[in-house]
Structure 1
């Protein structure tokens, strides 16, 4: 299987399908490169080169027990881009992965990046504060984290239905697809689950978003219960110069599955 080493010698698994313009997919919190299967299989058939990797502590990659903050995660993304000698890349992220892309652009610039797409983003800043009253209360975060430390599989079971829309029109997801997603997350190091959660909750990207200089697309569902659009995608899109914003009706956080055909078509149109 293809692996690469990062700056701190952590081995990361990646998959590289097809040929043509390169698209690099950055996974959501707790998920591996497998989450992008249904985007990659479609886009490679339409003439694109699709690359996805397992974040450190996720899937088939090493679990070094450290480095689960955005600077190191952005360095990992940079290592992949350099390892494959990629140019004119479209970067696509779900959820937490959005922060990795923004921090990559902050640290490395946009010389190798052509476009960015943020799907169900955690941007710009999920934590409630005096100047961010729409964010999550710290007490709610602490309750979830306490549950993860006791019984993470149970938490996944309880939250699977809302993640995939809980029966919303157009959100019919099979029990097998739900089980597959939970299984992917259960392969993730609990250390990575906890540390990455703090990273995505506590990092404020509001200033960095102003500096994004490449064409950017935000895709968000109006029924996202993990990151409601009013506190995330809609605000973030307003902070990025000349960004496009697509709001999907009746779409949840897992819209890359529930609305995969529309997501895939939007990616094709944007890269074109």
Structure 2
């Protein structure tokens, strides 16, 4: 299996499929690159070089104790792009992957990257602060952390309903097949407890408003109106306001997991943006 070694010695697993212009897919907080079940084969089959990798702490990559802040995660991404010598690359950042992509651009520039997709992104800032009263109460993170520590399998299973159906989701009528819901929960558990907690801390507490506002490459923002993991007003719409000239696509009634619930539409929108 293909691996690379990051700047601090962490081994990272990656896949490199297809030929053409490169696109690197950055996933959600706890899921490995297997979450791109619907996107990676599609993009590779439509003339793009599709690269996915397991974030440190997740999937087949090493699970170090530290290194889950955006600086280190962005440096891991830089190591991947350097290792494969990718240029004119599109970054697709999903959820916390959006924060990684934004921090990469702030930290490493645009020499290797030409366009950006932020889907269900947790940018620009989730947490309430004196100058950000609309943000989420820090007590919410503490509640999430408690659930993770106490019974992470149950926490992940219960989260799956909101992840794919939104706040009004009915657990007796899931948005996807029971098998796919169970598979997604298992992917989330294929992440070390330490990584899960610290990645969530990073996405919840990091203020990326200034670095988001400095983005000047073509950017597509995709967000579901029923997203409870990254509320659309706080995240997608706020991100779109900060990035000049960005394109914003609102998926009505879509929750956080639109990569699965709205896979056909998302794939078509991705391909149109990446190949225009």
Q: What does residue range 7-156 of structure 1 map to in structure 2 within 5 Å?
A: 7-156=7-156
How far has the Cα of 1:129 moved from its partner?
1.1
**Alpha-carbon distance, 1:167 to partner:** 5.7
Q: Distance in 2 between matches of 1:167 and 1:146?
A: 24
Consecutive unaligned residues of structure 2, counting only runs of 5 or more, are none
Task: Say which of 217, 220, 224 aligns to 1:221.
Answer: 224
How far 1:41 moved relative to its partner? 0.8
Cα distance in 1 for residues equivalent to 2:154 and 2:24: 32
**Residue number in structure 2 paired with 1:262:** 265
Task: Give the Cα separation in 1 of the matches to 2:223 and 2:82.
Answer: 30
Structure 1 Cα separation of the partners of residues 105 and 245 of structure 2:
16
Report the count of equivalent residues.
Answer: 270
Cα distance in 1 between the residues matched to 2:142 and 2:148: 10
Q: Following superposition, which runs of at least 4 residues in structure 1 exceed 4 angstroms of deviation?
A: none
* TM-score of the aligned structures, taking structure 2 as reference length: 0.96
Under a length normalisation based on structure 1, what TM-score does the superposition of the two structures give? 0.97
RMSD: 1.2
The answer on whether the counterparts of 1:215 and 1:242 sit within 8 Å (CA) in structure 2 is yes
Distance 1:83 1:271 in 2: 22
Residue pair 1:110, 1:213 contacting (<8 A) in 2 also: no
Alpha-carbon deviations, 1:122-173, whole Å to 9, x = none?
01100011211121101121111111111011111112111111369xx831
Q: Which consecutive unaligned segments of at least 5 residues does structure 1 have?
A: none
Structure 2: distance between partners of 1:211 and 1:140: 29
State the alpha-carbon separation in 2 of the partners of residues 142 and 45 from structure 1.
Answer: 42
Q: Residues 204-229 of structure 1: CA distance to partner in whole angstroms, max 9, x if unpaired?
A: 01000111111001000001111110
